[in-house]
Amino acid sequence: MPDILSASSGSGVDSDSASVARRVALQGARTVDALIDLIPGDFVECLRGPLRGISATTSKLVSARATLVKWRQHHAAGTMPSHLFRQKPEVQLTSNFGSTDDASQHRLALESAHSEYLKTTLENAIKAKADDVLFLEAALEPERLFNELKPFIAVQGSHLLATRKVPLITYTDKGAFKEVKFIEDALLAQQCRNVMADSIAYAFRIISIVESHAAVESVKQERKRDLKKAADVEMADSSRPGPSIQSMVDRAVAAKLKTVEAKKGKKKDTKKKASTSTQVARRPPKATKGAEQKKGKPKPKTKPKTTAKPDKGKGKAKGK
């Protein structure tokens, strides 16, 4: 396979004006994927993985730097990060010995040893994180980046030059076709050299994109923390003169229960009234005398009074 870095391959790198134009176009990319899309199509896939690896390394570096800053702030303030803090050990002593001066000295010695342990732990953690930052920074140095991208471009460029030759047609003095030879494409060789020269610009632009996104996100988080602190202070000021939140909740619950109980009582009363009204409606109304006469009902027949008549037979018998 031909070597794209050899002097025989192509005519060299483009002019300075063309190189500047390409790098200005790279500055317009706002995401890693957008920058990868600006790479010549024959080299996109071979550089996609390495460039995303540079993006991941930059993200790790940004995170490590932020952590190192926080830990150094804790060290200056005399505090500990939450994941490194450990509670002071408690030694159970008898009540008789615990009230003596010797017991107090032992407690002070334990506290001093625990404080020294926390301090030493934080200092060692800061040293380890600082070396981690140096390691990641070394991975993003220009020479390291170029040597990492160079093999991918060289292999892909050599493959393209070997498989995509262009025809060189010769003619006789009379203009008739003489022969055709296939030679390396000079424009393709020039493109390979341009990609090789611009590879470090790709890496630098990706580093800038990741760092700028991280800076914007850091500002957003800082604003959220400031708003939360302001809200906490405002809540504390507003609740200071008035009743406690628990008492307010208790009052609200009690008032709600009263309204619920009152509604239940009203529902029971309405149910009783409705039941009595339905029972009354089902019973037939009592008929009165006036109503019966108005309706034309016949009066009950009264039996005629009978007078006792003298018994004829008995009278005659008495006469006799």
DSSP 54-66: HHHHHHHHHHHHH
Instruction: Enumerate residues 6+ apart whose C-beta is below 8 A from 64.
Output: 129, 132, 133, 136
Tokens of 139: 């991975």
Looking at residues 295-309, what average pLDDT do you find? 53
Tokens of 311: 């018994």
Q: Classify residue 190 by burial, with Cβ atoms within 10 Å: 0-12, 13-18, 19+.
A: middle
Torsion from C-alpha of 105, 111, 115, 117, nearest 10 degrees: 90
DSSP state of 185: -
Provide the pLDDT for residue 316: 46
Provide the pLDDT for residue 24: 93
CA distance 104 to 90: 13
Whether the predicted pLDDT of 86 surpasses 60:
yes
Alpha helices in the chain (DSSP H): 16-27, 32-37, 44-77, 95-98, 101-139, 142-163, 186-239, 245-282, 289-295, 312-319
Residues paired with residue 210 on neighbouring β-strands, in sequence order: none
Tokens of 53: 């690896």
Whether the predicted pLDDT of 291 surpasses 70:
no
Tens-place pLDDT, residues 250-272: 888 888 888 877 777 766 666 66
What are φ and ψ of residue 169, in 5° steps? -100, 135
- DSSP line for 133-151: HHHHHHHTSHHHHHHHHHH
Tens-place pLDDT, residues 15-72: 678 889 999 999 999 999 999 999 999 999 999 999 999 999 999 999 999 999 999 9
Residues in the chain: 320
Tokens of 274: 């409705």
DSSP state of 43: G
Looking at residues 162-176, what average pLDDT do you find? 92
Provide the pLDDT for residue 309: 52
Provide the pLDDT for residue 250: 82
pLDDT, averaged across the chain: 83
Please, which pLDDT band fits residue 230 given cuts at 50, 70 and 90? confident
Are 22 and 194 contacting, i.e. CB atoms less than 8 angstroms apart? Answer: yes
Pick from 59-63, 222-226, 259-263, 310-314 the range whose average pLDDT is largest.
59-63
Are 165 and 182 contacting, i.e. CB atoms less than 8 angstroms apart? Answer: yes
Q: Which of 123, 11, 8, 117 is nearest to 72 (CA)?
A: 123
Q: Is the model more confident about 319 or about 297? A: 297
CA 283 distance to own-chain centroid: 70
Tens-place pLDDT, residues 98-144: 889 999 999 999 999 999 999 999 999 999 999 999 999 999 999 99
CA distance 76 to 279: 87
Whether the predicted pLDDT of 284 surpasses 60:
no
Provide the pLDDT for residue 47: 97
Are 71 and 81 contacting, i.e. CB atoms less than 8 angstroms apart? Answer: yes
Provide the pLDDT for residue 280: 53
